[in-house]
Amino acid sequence: MTDRSIRPQPGEYAPYYGAYIARVTDGDIVATLASQLGVTLAAIRAQGEASGGRRYAEGKWSVREVVSHMADTERVFAYRALRFARADETELPSFDENAYVANGSADSRTLASLCEEYESVRQATLTLFRSFTATEWSRSGIASKNRMSVRALAWVSAGHELHHMQILGERYW
């Protein structure tokens, strides 16, 4: 059994991710990830399908693109967590979030389908994080040229969602 309420410490993540981790309240991070899902989906769905194409400024992502980005990024973080938990020493590259969005075709999809995808991704993330032993939880690897622990990836996933939900709330709705 592992204590999933231990907040990652500097050195377990690149300083850039500290802002995401700081957004997350103390407690069991897997429970936090699980509770976020319903809140996030309810907030997005409450805006209605017509809000999907909304952009807060020229050249900014649409609501659909933000939701797609959230799913893509969570997949990348979960993949990194899996590799590190399995003690894979292969250094993992960065990913270009803007290229993912530009090539993701989110605006050709419904907001409902993107919410369904995000829900599936989060459920898979939860299943993965619940499966980790204490040893796996504390392992780390290199991604984007920085050391990152499995624990930190869970906290960053939660903080990343909070970050984008704040942006959606402040700039889109």
Q: What residue ranges define each of the domains in the chain, with the CATH number in brackets? A: 15-172 (1.20.120.450)
Mean predicted confidence (pLDDT) in 147-157:
98
Average pLDDT over residues 59-84: 98
Q: Cα dihedral sign for 13, 118, 59, 55? A: negative
Give yes or no for residue 17 having a pLDDT over 90: yes
Residue 59: DSSP 8-state: T
Query: Residue 2's pLDDT band (boundaries 50, 70, 90)?
Result: confident
Helices (H), the chain: 18-23, 29-46, 63-85, 97-102, 111-131, 134-138, 150-167
Whole-number Å distance between alpha carbons of 35 and 58 = 33
Rounded to two decimals, what is the model's pTM?
Answer: 0.97
**C-alpha 127: how far from its chain's center?**
14
CA distances (Å), 80 to each of 14, 83, 151, 169, 170, in order?
A: 14, 5, 11, 29, 30
Check whether 129 has a pLDDT greater than 80. yes
Average the pLDDT over 35-52 and give the result.
97
pLDDT at 1 over 70: no
Structure tokens at 153: 């990836």
Question: What was the pLDDT predicted at 112?
Answer: 98
- Report helix, strand or coil for 94: coil
